[in-house]
Amino acid sequence: MDENLNIIEGAPFVMEDPLIYEEQPNKLPGGRTNPYVISELIPVPAGEKDVEQVELQYGVTLLRERKVEALEPVAEFLASLSEEHRKKVQYGVMLLKKLSDFKVSFVEACKDTIYLMTTALGWITYTTYFYQNGETIVLLKVFGEGQGRRTKASVTEKMPVVRELRWKHVIHEISGVDYDAVLDAEFGPTGTTKREVYEMRACRAYVSFAIKQARLASGIPVEEFEVKMGLKTGRSNLSNVERRSRVLPLDYLAKVMSSLGMRAVIVRPGLVNWNPISRTHTMEQMLEKIGEPVYRWKRKEAL
């Protein structure tokens, strides 16, 4: 920002080391896949062979996670949502705090260094507009559309409203609330077992969303997709994939991408040592720690 309070275009400041990255394991205790999100889905030309269906990329390592501030109307709107819908939007916010950058499938860069994050649940879609002020993500506005909600407006129509909100925040005409405190109360503080479990769920939720959107955009119905996967109709794991019930192993993700005629570029949170508990404990142990049922583990013990 210059002396006239004009925002200067350019990458926002982030505490990071651009020269190094932390390599992460693909597998966690118990054979689980280390969670990831999709950065980009790239169509593969028909007939092209020897395509790497899944590419893992590393970004710069964040030395500490970003903070989150929400304008008061945003905090009030999210608090008014049902628990399921509120949590899915908050999942995305949790990931924004520790991703190396915002080049992921559920975030779009708009003009004037403003971003929008898309969260879809059934027929309802939430678009969350934010900008980065130093090390802080500021949530400016959330629009909820579909199933009886307001008529969908284009990004072009929304941007003047969002830009004005950002400017008022920059000049301290409007203020925000510490949204990290809200996330901590909902999911546990960063570094706790509960928070790590929910961060894993956040990763798989947005991967499933990206896969479903890609399938719908390609016009491939469920039955055809199952045939392409070589599975019996009605007996595939597609419903599990699109309902966010598991972290897909990378080889299975590659099979999904091949059936969609795409290749996926995936990334993991770039915060140094972002999931230390997951790297030393099984999911069963983690669920037990936070008091959630462990159905699969109990069935094994009964054998």
pTM here is: 0.86
Residue 102 in any domain: the answer is yes
Please check whether residue 42 lies inside any domain of the structure.
Answer: yes
How many folded domains does the chain comprise? 1
CA-closest candidate to residue 95, choices 135, 137, 155: 137
What pLDDT does residue 49 have? 76
Q: Per the domain annotation, does 37 fall within a domain?
A: yes
CA distance 115 to 213: 19
Angstrom distance (rounded) from CA 150 to CA 135: 33
Which tokens go with 241? 């994939």
Residue 4 lies in a domain: no
What are the distances in angstroms from CA 11 to CA 51, 113, 162? 33, 8, 19
State the angle between helix axes of 179-187 and 193-218 in degrees (0 to 180), rounded to the nearest 10. Answer: 100
- pLDDT, one tens digit for every residue, the chain (303 residues): 444 455 544 445 545 555 467 788 999 998 999 999 999 999 988 777 778 899 999 888 888 999 999 999 999 999 999 999 999 999 999 999 999 999 999 999 998 889 999 998 878 999 999 999 989 999 999 999 875 555 456 777 889 999 999 999 999 999 999 999 999 999 999 999 999 999 999 999 999 989 888 888 888 887 787 777 776 665 555 555 665 567 899 998 998 898 888 999 999 999 988 999 999 999 999 999 999 988 654 434 433
**Each residue's pLDDT tens digit, 5-30:** 555 444 455 455 554 677 889 999 98
Domain that holds residue 34: 9-303
The predicted structure's pLDDT at residue 224: 81
Q: Which of 72, 71, 78 is nearest to 127 (CA)?
A: 78
Beta bridge partners of 126: 119, 144
**109 Cβ contact list (under 8 Å, min separation 6):** 102, 115
- Helix H or strand E encompassing 199: helix 193-218
Report how far residue 253's alpha carbon sits from residue 124's, in angstroms, rounded to the nearest whole number.
Answer: 26
Residue 240 lies in a domain: yes
- Are the C-beta atoms of 127 and 118 separated by less than 8 Å? yes
Burial state string for 152-177 with b = 16 or more CB within 10 A and e = fewer than 16? eeeeeebbeebbebbeebbeeebebb
In this prediction, residue 216 carries a pLDDT of 85
**SS3 state of residue 275:** coil
The answer as to whether 3 is a domain residue is no
